Amino acid sequence: MNKTYKKQKFTAATTCAGCPIGVVARTVLNATDDPIVVTNATGCMEVTSTIYPNTSWKVPYIHSVFGNAGATASGIEAAVKSLSKQGKVDEKVKVIAFAGDGGTYDIGFQALSGALERGHDFLYVCYDNGAYMNTGNQRSGATPLGASTQTTPFGKEAFGKQTRRKDIMTIVAGHHVPYAATANIGFLEDFKAKVKKALAIKGPKFILVFSPCVALWKFPPAKTFEVAKLGTETNFWPLYEIENGHYKFSYEPKKRKPIEEFYGTQGRFKHIFKRDDKEALLQKIQKEIDDDFARIKATVESHQKV
Amino acid sequence: MNTKNKKIALTGGYAVGEAMRQINPDVVAMYPITPQTPIIEYFAKQKANGKVKTEVVTVESEHSAMSACIGSSASGARTLTASSSQGIMYMFEVLPVASSMRLPILMAVSNRAISGPINIHGDHSDAMAMRDTGWIQIFAENTQEAYDNTIIGMKLAEKALLPLATNMDGFFVSHSVENLELLEDEEVKGFIGEYSPKQSLFDFDNPKTFGPVALQNSYFEFRKQIQDAMLKTSKMFEEVAEEFEKISKRKYGFVEEYRTEDAGKVIVAMGSVCGTIKETVDRLRDEGKNVGLLKIRLFRPFPYKQVAKALKGVQDIIVMDRNLAFGTKQVLASEIEHATGKKVQSVVYGLGGRDVFEKQIEELFLEEKSPEYLM
């Protein structure tokens, strides 16, 4: 075992080749020297990192169930507050929750909302791969329009998922949190900086990190970062921060690429390109992406004027 | 010692809340549900008045209440919550996680019927629903026991390293004012002692992974260790009850044998109905009938030995269940048959808070064959 490996707070996991989950975990954990406690919702990250008697986590870690990362973090944070006042633990302890999009947009939504509203001092990191990947690709509230999943498969009648993604960032912002940001494993320095920034702020923080799934988006393992970057270059995954309600872009493509360039890299969208109504469908998808981006941009600009 | 103990009139809910104030836990997670709410309201007021050091987490659901308790208890904080009925059904998923992680969370339960249809009144359906989740379960007959069980329960949970639910009948105990004797704050503090678990998330030099994936080669062992711990709890219960007797002068066993010595017919029951049964037993005894009551206090782990001993010479046993198990024998009746090796008469009573009167208990004692349902 070499020295760097030994020092890692998150070591090898049994993820698929090309999966960025380890990158997400390490980037977050390495952003601070303070003591860390991690809680993790059920999902790919948990299943690939804690098969007994092994564990990838070299920091205290707790997994309980699927839908309670926000609530478990609340309990840990309450314990930090209570025990640090009694001199039993360092008050600098950072509480970090990891959950996938299923554990955030769907089953863990209420627990997340409660924890944000109560104002606990913790960082919630959602690694978003746009579906329930641990159970083999079923649609979630984060699955994009047109994606074929096991529960929204394409067929004669259907072009994949018929509805758009939930706008989780607006919902989180609605909780008046001091800090929320989108990030992308394809923009690692930006991601790192955001985690560092978040951890320096008191209160509930939320980072939504774009985390492509090699196996079930269906692209070659070597292309993870390329696909991730295309997400942002096409405005499918804009990078922005919301600080005390103020929106700010952290990166803006000079000229956004057409959505085909992102959708075209992945097997989950392949059916779209074979349809007779391909053009109309892509236009619809493009329009929704452009509209979403325009709305964020308008907010950013209105906040610049203030 | 006992002379300075305060006698006071309180509802069961406030008595439990007062015990919680005296325990002065590190963390309490709270979410309202009738008939548990008076407990958390009482406690919240203590917090507001600076009487406790507790960090209160006002969660948005019972699922989150138990989840927060798990996070807090795993962090090494003394942790309590309270619930009832649908609250317990809603947090059900996380209950066995608490026992598997061996977390001594105390949950004060005001027992209430479960939906459907919705009913807010007292029965044991919620306690029976959680009976196989690896939680220690103690039942109270009255406010005094509800108060005492909270203090005994805290110590027992931490000794056994298992979560523990104290049960009192919703409304019948939780909302009824009775006289009870309270311990001094210092007595409670001394009795429960400091809580400093050997394993906790806050051990940063020796980081632990709580709640790993356990496959075919280890899951079985994880489950078996809950059983091993549960079986060891009986002895601990005895020790804790003995210690409690020293400070309170109140003696608590696994069961309470009420005029069972020479009894030919005995009713076995749990909770507030035992008060009504005791009154009836006294009256019938005065009339020369040799009847008695066996009250079950510790329900999990089930005190088979103590029950068998108590019912050894008894010919006629009637078991009253305040819960309806569908398509099978009733829960307490099955336990008693298992413990004694005898056939018992099984009666379901009081569902959804339906009252039970002395007259009905008297009939149970006097009729040769009891009805299946006291409706």
Give the Cβ contact number of residue B118 at 10 Å: 10
- pLDDT (0 to 100) of residue B37: 98
Residue to test with chain A: of B30, B75, B204, most A Cβ within 10 A: B75
CB burial readout B170-202, b (16+ within 10 A) else e: bbbbbbbebebebbeeebbeebbeebebeebbb
Contacts of A115 in chain B (CB under 8 A): 64
Q: Which of B284, B303, B297 is nearest to B363 (CA)?
A: B284
- What average pLDDT is seen over chain A? 96
What are the 10-residue block averages of pLDDT along chain B, 375 residues in total?
A: 70 98 98 98 98 98 98 98 98 98 98 98 98 98 98 98 98 98 97 95 97 98 98 98 98 98 96 98 98 98 98 97 98 98 98 98 97 96
Confidence of residue A4 (pLDDT cuts 50, 70, 90): low
The DSSP 8-state label assigned to residue B213 in this structure reads: B
Domain count, chain A: 1
Q: Mean per-residue pLDDT for A176-192?
A: 98
Nearest CA in chain B to A58: B207
pTM equals: 0.97
Distance in angstroms (rounded) separating the CA atoms of residues B17 and B147: 8
pLDDT of residue B301: 98
pLDDT exceeds 50 at position A292: yes
Helices (H), B24-61: 37-48
Contact flag A39-B97 (C-beta cutoff 8 Å): no
Q: What is the pLDDT of residue B2?
A: 45
Q: How far off is chain B from A301, nearest CA to CA, in Å? A: 35
A261-281 tens-digit pLDDT: 999 999 999 999 999 999 999
Confidence class for position A306, pLDDT limits 50, 70, 90? low
Question: What is the rounded average pLDDT of the residues A33-60?
Answer: 98
Decide if pLDDT at A149 tops 80: yes
Separation between Cα atoms, residue A51 and residue B218, nearest integer Å: 10
Q: Which amino acid is at A178?
A: P
Q: CB–CB of A198/A207 below 8 Å?
A: yes
Burial class (CB in 10 A: 0-12, 13-18, 19+), B206: exposed
The predicted-structure confidence for B83-127, as pLDDT tens digits, reads as follows 999 999 999 999 999 999 999 999 999 999 999 999 999 999 999
* pLDDT band at residue A126 under the 50/70/90 scheme: very high
Chain B residues in contact with A82 by the CB 8 A cut-off are 26-27, 53-55, 77
User: What local confidence, expressed as pLDDT, does residue B5 receive?
Assistant: 61
User: Which tokens is A1 given?
Assistant: 């075992």
B44 touching A (Cβ < 8 Å): no
Three-state DSSP string of A181-222 = EEEECCCHHHHHHHHHHHHCCCCEEEEEEECCCHHHHHCCHH
Give the 3-state secondary structure of residue B83.
strand
Q: Give percent above pLDDT 70 in chain A.
A: 98
Cβ separation A39–B71 shorter than 8 A: yes
Across the interface, which of B60, B93, B204 has its CB nearest the CB of A60? Answer: B204
Question: Any idea what the CATH number is for the domain that residue A270 is in?
Answer: 3.40.50.970
Secondary structure (3-state) at A45: helix
Suggest the residue from A37, A62, A93, A96 to mutate for an interface test with chain B (most B CBs closer than 10 A). A62
Show which of residues 85-114 on chain B sit within 8 Å of chain A, judged by CB atoms: 93-94, 97
* A64 to B55, B202, B349: CA distances (angstroms): 21, 17, 37
Shortest CA gap B101–chain A (Å): 9
Number of H helices, E strands in chain B: 13, 16
Measured between beta carbons, the chain A residues lying within 8 angstroms of B79 are: 75, 79
Closest alpha carbon to B5 in B248, B252, B191: B248
pLDDT of residue A305: 74
Nearest C-alpha neighbor of A23 from the set A15, B213, A99: A15
Q: If you count residue pairs, one on A and one on B, with CB atoms under 8 Å apart, how many are there?
A: 165
Angle CA(A179)–CA(A182)–CA(A187) in degrees, nearest 5?
Answer: 125
Q: Cα–Cα distances in Å, from A217 out to A44, A148, A210, A239, B27? A: 14, 9, 13, 21, 43
**Domains in chain B: ranges and CATH:** 2-248 (3.40.50.970), 255-374 (3.40.50.920)
B97 contacts in A (CB within 8 Å)? 64-65
User: Does A72 contact B70 at a Cβ distance shorter than 8 Å?
Assistant: yes
Q: Which two tokens stand for residue B198?
A: 């050997």
| Model-level ipTM above the cut of 0.85 | yes
How much is the pLDDT for A7?
Answer: 77
Q: A144 is in which domain, residue-wise?
A: 3-305
Tell me the β-bridge partners of B9: B179
Q: pLDDT at residue A193 above 50?
A: yes
B210 sits in the region (left: phi over 0; alpha: psi -120 to 50; else beta) called: beta
> By three-state DSSP, how is residue B35 classified?
coil
A93-122 mean pLDDT: 98
